[in-house]
Amino acid sequence: MGITVSKTVYNQLKTQFGDAIGEYIETASPFIEVKSESIREVARFCKELGFDSLMCLSAVDTKGMKISSSPQENKTQKPAPPKEEIQVVYHLNSTFTRDKIALKVCLDRTSPRLPSVSSIWGVANWHEREAYDMFGVIFDGHPALSRILCPEDWEGWPLRKDYVFPERYHDVEHKRKPSGAEFLDGEKKQ
């Protein structure tokens, strides 16, 4: 069911938006690549197509990925690590036709920015706040983009692959010593 639906939706999107829609790659779990500027329009169009609920909105940091999870266009090529970027993935679901599709937006790692879809699906509000909280993705037009799971004054973007765990937070030390460290110290002192 999934693949044929994605193909038809892809064709519809391609005719509607042209260049904003990237390549379509046929796999077991296909997705449609969308340019970041036009994601809101594409999302609205998808909702009109009947994809009335946003199942999941997730951000991904591809830094350090060994082999790209997206299938290679050329099968003979040696599997290679993907470009280092931040991806935002939208999983859509239609309660009428029971179809599912996925949209994917690739963003620059240094300043990830894209329009918010919280005006289209209410649930996106919190999902986007979570993506901001964990990856530092900025959603333009979001009503109240702030941290949601971490404290307001937390520093850094915890789910990025190059995130360094802070040693202190408000005078609370929480860098765990390697196990047995205190014994080693004791032995050295003696």
Q: Which two tokens stand for residue 97?
A: 């036709």
Distance of alpha carbon 71 from alpha carbon 82, whole angstroms: 10
Under the criterion CB under 8 A, does residue 5 sit at the interface with other proteins? Answer: no
Does position 166 interact with other proteins (CB under 8 A)? The reply is: no
Only segment of 23-31, 32-40, 108-116, 177-185 that touches other proteins (CB under 8 A):
23-31
Taking the C-alpha atoms of residue 113 and residue 49, their distance in angstroms, rounded to an integer, is: 26
Among 44, 126, 141, 166, binds other proteins (CB under 8 A): 126
Out of 27, 162, 181, 185, the residue judged to bind other proteins by CB under 8 A: 27
Q: Which of 61, 117, 136, 139 binds other proteins (CB under 8 A)?
A: 61
User: Contact 107/139 with Cβ under 8 angstroms?
Assistant: no
Among 65, 84, 109, 138, binds other proteins (CB under 8 A): 65
* One-letter amino acid for residue 41 of the chain: E
170 token code pair? 């408000």
Nearest CA-CA partner of 92 in 102, 82, 105, 79: 102
Minimal distance, residue 48 CB to other proteins, in Å:
14
